[in-house]
Amino acid sequence: MRIKNWDFALLGLGSLVLFGLTVGRDTNREWKKYQKRYYQMEYSQAMARGGKGPMEPLRYKINQIMIPGTDIVDRCTTCHLGFDNTEAGFEDNPYKAHPNPYQHPPEDFGCPICHGGQGLATTVADAHGERENWQYPILKSDYVQASCSKCHQDQELIKDAPLLLKGKELFAQYECLGCHSLRGEGEKDAPDLTNEGDKKRHEFDFGKYDSPKLTQADWQFMHLKDPQVFNPDSEMPNLGLSDEEAKALTIYVLSLTEKETPETLIYAKKP
């Protein structure tokens, strides 16, 4: 065949290739990789336990929790598929079964209400809040305790959020309110801490340590250990805190918020 219009042919081919690339990228979204891996792990476990038959065809789907009575939507379980699968005993994230999940059924609470992060997102970096446009990176391990006081009174947390309560004690013991103020109490020689936990990542000056990996929790911890670490002129005294104390205080400081929690989710008020 003789091609008369090479330029049309090339432009057409170019468009076609681009179209193909676009379709390819859109169908291979990051979260699918995690779902595939999860179903494969499930399948090989079933085989190891004596199951038979071929693997079911994969049905990719975005798992989405819409918390009743609020406009919170979260899709963390799109990747964190094993959060309620205590039987399997998967050991790696995002497949680990959640410690203690059933006190807070995920369909009522979702995940970001305790962990922060970006519920709507379906990529790791976005969901875990490592991007500029999401200022609340996820809280990990013990630091999650910073969220409990949104909905609980102290006495309900003695067993499950010990560090938070310890932080509160230390806060009084070290007389932080000798300089700071909190909900109208204390002195005005230092920044008010009433909504310290609401501050956005970019409101903190990380000085020479600036890196997208560092979160508010890192800032607070490092600042409590050495108040001059970011700003050598800081007038906050170095209290010589141990790591454990600094961690507890960090959790407490992060828990200071003025944001409203949806009424229906608060412990005593939950219908």
Partner 1 sequence: MAKFNDLIKGLRETQVWRSIFRHGYAPTERNQSLAISSNFFLHLHPAKVRRHALKFTYTLGLGGLSFFLFLVLTVTGILLMIYYVPSTKEAYNNMKDLEFVISYGLLLRNLHRWSAHLMVLVVFFHMCRVFYTGGYKRPREFNWGIGVVLLLLTLFLSFTGYLLPWDQLAFWAITVGTNIASYAPILGPKIRYALLGGNIVGQNALMRFYVLHVTILPVLMGTFLAIHFWRIRKDGGISGPPIEEVGAEEEAAPAPLKTYGLMGLVKGPTPMVEKEPEDTEFTFPNLVYKEIKYAMLIMIILHVFSFFFNAPLEELADPEHTPNPAKAPWYFLGLQELVSYSAFLGGVLAPALAVIGIILIPFIDRNPSGVGVWFSRERKLAIILFSIFVLTAVILTIIGTYLRGPNWGWYWPWQEWPKH
Residues within window 36-65 making contact with ligand HEC, judged by CB under 6 A: none
Tell me if 66 contacts partner 1 by CB under 8 A.
no
The CA-atom distances, in angstroms, between 223 and each of 43, 63, 124 are: 47, 38, 28
What is the pairing mode between strands 65-66 and 181-182?
unpaired
Question: Residues 38, 42, 72, 79: which binds ligand HEC (CB under 6 A)?
Answer: 79
CA Rg value for the chain: 24
In angstroms, what is the minimal distance from the CB of 231 to partner 1?
A: 10
Q: Which helix (H) or strand (E) holds 33?
A: helix 30-48
Residue whose C-alpha is closest to residue 157's, from 77, 91, 251:
251
Residue whose C-alpha is closest to residue 221's, from 196, 193, 254, 195:
254
Under 8 Å between Cβ of 111 and 80 = yes
With CB under 5 to 8 Å by kind, the binding choice for 20 among ligand HEC, partner 1, none is none
In angstroms, what is the minimal distance from the CB of 163 to ligand HEC?
A: 10
Near partner 1 by CB under 8 A, which window of 93-101, 128-136, 157-165, 174-182?
128-136
Sign of CA dihedral 171, 175, 177, 179: negative
Under 8 Å between Cβ of 174 and 107 = no
Three-state DSSP at 163 gives helix
Question: Residues 135, 194, 257, 261: which binds ligand HEC (CB under 6 A)?
Answer: 261
5 vs 242 by CB, closer to ligand HEC: 242
Tokens for 4, please give them: 């008369």
Tell me if 124 contacts partner 1 by CB under 8 A.
no
142 vs 198 by CB, closer to partner 1: 198
Give the x/- contact pattern for ligand HEC in 153-182, rule: CB under 6 A: ----x--xx---------x--x-x-xxx--
Question: Residues 75, 115, 150, 166: which binds partner 1 (CB under 8 A)?
Answer: 75
In angstroms, what is the minimal distance from the CB of 28 to partner 1?
A: 12
Tell me if 212 contacts ligand HEC by CB under 6 A.
no
Tell me if 145 contacts ligand HEC by CB under 6 A.
yes
With CB under 5 to 8 Å by kind, the binding choice for 62 among partner 1, ligand HEC, none is partner 1
20 vs 105 by CB, closer to ligand HEC: 105
Under 8 Å between Cβ of 148 and 163 = no
Tell me if 91 contacts partner 1 by CB under 8 A.
no
Number of other residues whose CB lies within 10 A of the CB of residue 174:
15
7 vs 243 by CB, closer to partner 1: 7
Calpha distance 215→197 (Å, rounded): 12
Three-state DSSP at 132 gives coil
Tell me if 216 contacts ligand HEC by CB under 6 A.
no
Calpha distance 55→52 (Å, rounded): 9
User: Looking up tokens 């507890």, which residue turns up?
Assistant: 248
In angstroms, what is the minimal distance from the CB of 75 to partner 1?
A: 7
List residues binding partner 1 (CB under 8 A). 5, 7-8, 11-12, 14-15, 18, 21-22, 25-26, 62, 71, 73, 75, 118, 120-123, 126, 132-135, 200, 205
